[in-house]
Structure 1
Amino acid sequence: MRSSHTVQQVYERLVEAAPLELAMGFDNPGLLVGDRGAQAGAVLLCLDITDRVIDEAIALGCGVIVSHHPLFFELPKQLLADAQGPVGRAIRLLRAGLSAICLHTNMDVAQGGVNDLLLGKLGLSPEAGPPPEGGEGFIGRIGSLRMALRPAELAAEVRRRLGCDAVRYVAGHGEVRRVAVVGGAGGGFYEAAAAQGCDALVTAEVKHHHFLEAEALGLTLVDAGHFHTERFVVERFEALIGAGCPGLAIHRSRTVDRDLVQTISSY
């Protein structure tokens, strides 16, 4: 017998834990596509809503896809039947009777969200501090290693713990004990991490000048890749929906098992 939970009930449970007010200004989290009153039926969890994910949801009989990254960040100017990209996928979702819930930087910042999970995956002891405020400030978390590591040792440990094919890093000054983490594209937070007395920042999508400036500040900066610093968000989605909507079937997309982007690290 299928659960009778609605799309709105699934949505409310998620935003209760990750309020939209925590999101950064550029972001577009929320119930982006669908019917609030429709039966959820089953839920598929993913990082990105791609055509492959939509195929999975249809095959599994799901009524809702919960994604970390928003399907679109700005409202489309046209809705055409032959549209491609995010608009085309939104139209496809509507035709299939699927709803899309996306929780992005609000889930990064929220207690128990991406950045807290990343601390745990890296074996860091979290520092006590005030509840997260979100917005445009530092959205990461800070934790401590049990024993100090050299920068190269930290980079190797990050690679091992997150299962990355490779990581990129620049070595700061001295050993690392206090580490800031920002899941996803957080290279621009190197100054905030250094200002808060951290020895290192672990994040993703670090630009060339971020590495240069971090090294100049004496900060070790590690880029572990967008996928590997966020893929575990589906664990949080599953826990929240499972607790708030008992009996509802929950599936993890196969796309969270392997990074689409491949790396050649040696010949």
Structure 2
Amino acid sequence: MKIKEIVSALERFAPLPLQDGFDNAGLQIGLTEVEATGALLCLDVTEAVLDEAIALGYNLVISHHPLIFKGYKSITGKDYVERCILKAIKNDIVIYSAHTNLDNAYGGVNYKIAEKIGLKNLQVLEPKENSLQDDLTQAGAGIVGELDEPETELEFLKRIKKTFEVGCVRHNRLTGREIQKVALCGGAGAFLLPQAIRAGADVFITGEIKYHDYFGHEGDILMAEIGHYESEQYTKEIFYSIIRDLFPNFALQSSKINTNPIKYL
């Protein structure tokens, strides 16, 4: 099986036109006409992840976050990105990334987070226009859904902390309301806070919220920040399902490397 067959499967699930304008999803490094020896799934491409792929004998690394965002005038190994580029080329490793196209896809990153939380009656917070997916209303940024039973704010936050193995959940002042309608966005999703409030959500969960974004919403909604890596860590499960369903005998493994650069004391 050639690498291009795996890439095609990923792009049928998360078409590249779904990515945001700033993004650089898709093929990062390498040739897709070659035979695939195995795929390593990760959130971030690092030198340690590439070493893991080399040790496994895999020539394909599939990441959520693109390794290459900016243009390069030279590749000299002066930072970890350039060192990863050199290592991948030297070892004939193909790197492919599905980023905001997977965030915006039906069944993508935010749907996976909603699944982990146990939400039903899911709706997209900010539908994506000009989607290539069949149901235009189901592609876009963020998700809002409902719990089967309401929970207290403290119960809910403690459950989120445990589910996503979060070192620290940052949140604004508790409102005293029960939590049943939940809005969320993996990664840096604070831009969707107004949409979450308009949707009538009791809580908005995302990976990153800036300090000043916490002001002015004390009576509107509970805001919970669980960390960028933590919110998107289950993206590897999406990759695994897409590939395993189509190619059941293909060598496939999720990276054992925790690439989160943020540590908690």
**Structure-2 residue corresponding to 1:262:** 263
**Structure-2 residue corresponding to 1:34:** 30
Whether the 8 Å CA contact 2:105–2:140 is kept in 1: the answer is: no
Distance 1:138 1:74 in 2: 24
Whether the 8 Å CA contact 2:68–2:81 is kept in 1: the answer is: yes
Distance 2:129 2:82 in 1: 28
Q: Does 1:166 align with 2:168?
A: yes
How big is the shift at 1:188? 2.3
Distance 2:163 2:16 in 1: 30
Q: CA 1:130/1:193 → structure 2, altered by over 3 Å: closer, same or farther?
A: closer
Whether the 8 Å CA contact 1:46–1:253 is kept in 2: the answer is: yes
Whether the 8 Å CA contact 1:106–1:134 is kept in 2: the answer is: no
- Of 85-94 and 6-15, deviating more is 85-94
Whether the 8 Å CA contact 1:164–1:228 is kept in 2: the answer is: yes
Distance 2:173 2:58 in 1: 46
After superposition, residues 45-194 of structure 1 pair within 5 angstroms as: 45-80=41-76, 82-127=77-122, 133=128, 139-171=141-173, 173=175, 174-194=177-197
How big is the shift at 1:154? 2.2
Q: Secondary structure at the match of 2:257?
A: helix
Where in structure 2 are there 5+ consecutive unaligned residues?
Answer: 131-138
How big is the shift at 1:134? 6.6
How big is the shift at 1:260? 4.6
How big is the shift at 1:30? 0.1
**Structure-2 residue corresponding to 1:212:** 215
Percent identity of paired positions between Structure 1 and Structure 2? 30
- Give TM-score scaled by structure 1 length: 0.89
- Deviation per CA, 1:63-102: give whole Å up to 9, x if none: 100000000212222223x442212211210111000000
Distance 2:143 2:125 in 1: 11
How big is the shift at 1:205? 1.3
Q: Does 1:201 align with 2:196?
A: no
Q: Secondary structure at the match of 1:32?
A: strand
How big is the shift at 1:40? 1.3
Where in structure 1 are there 5+ consecutive unaligned residues?
Answer: none
Give the paired residue count.
256
How big is the shift at 1:181? 1.0
Distance 1:172 1:115 in 2: 24
Amino acid at match of 1:143: G
Q: Secondary structure at the match of 1:41?
A: coil
Supply the RMSD in Å over aligned alpha carbons.
2.2
- Deviation per CA, 1:10-43: give whole Å up to 9, x if none: 1111011001111111111001100111111100
Q: CA 1:184/1:134 → structure 2, altered by over 3 Å: closer, same or farther?
A: farther
Amino acid at match of 2:23: D
- Give TM-score scaled by structure 2 length: 0.89
Whether the 8 Å CA contact 1:148–1:177 is kept in 2: the answer is: yes
Distance 2:12 2:140 in 1: 22
Amino acid at match of 1:35: L
Whether the 8 Å CA contact 2:127–2:140 is kept in 1: the answer is: no
Q: Does 1:243 align with 2:245?
A: yes
Whether the 8 Å CA contact 1:183–1:203 is kept in 2: the answer is: yes
- Deviation per CA, 1:179-214: give whole Å up to 9, x if none: 111011112221111122212111111111111133
Whether the 8 Å CA contact 2:36–2:60 is kept in 1: the answer is: yes
